[in-house]
Amino acid sequence: MAGTVENVTDENYEEIKQAAGSVVAYGIASCDPCQAYDPVLKEVAAKHTHVRIGKAKMHVPGKCREIKKQHTFETYPTTHFFSNGTLVLTREGKVEAAELTDLIRQYLPSGS
């Protein structure tokens, strides 16, 4: 949904990736930087309604099994930027709002 951070699961992962522009942050509950990233994602989602922004909660049993099969993460959070299903950028660690906005502008369609 435009303007909000979507809960990414196996069921909607491919749909979110296939959007013209999408950002998926992968995180776990025990990760302090992941928790600190949540307000950043909300802030950026509210400003960039043309991009689907989601968070995959990798620690929730049964919700991200297929996602885990597709990716191996050494660092949480890890953020993927997709354009029409193609992974265009990976960032490890928490990304600040200004940098996340710059990356969206640089790598994802503007929607205008």
Say how many residues make up the chain: 112
Domain CATH for 9: 3.40.30.10
Which residue has 């749909």 as its token pair? 15
- The letter for the amino acid at 71 is H
112 part of a folded domain: no
- Count the domains in the chain: 1
pTM (two decimals): 0.94
- Cα(112)–Cα(110) distance, integer angstroms: 5
pLDDT tens readout for residues 62-95: 999 999 999 999 999 999 999 999 999 999 999 9
Expressed as residue numbers, the domain containing 84 is: 5-107
81 part of a folded domain: yes
R_g (Cα) of the chain, nearest Å? 13
Contact 66, 10 (CB under 8 A): yes
111 pLDDT more than 60 = no
Question: Which has the closest alpha carbon to 15: 69, 58, 90, 67?
Answer: 67
pLDDT tens readout for residues 37-71: 999 999 999 999 999 999 999 999 999 999 999 99
Which token pair is 13? 């992962």
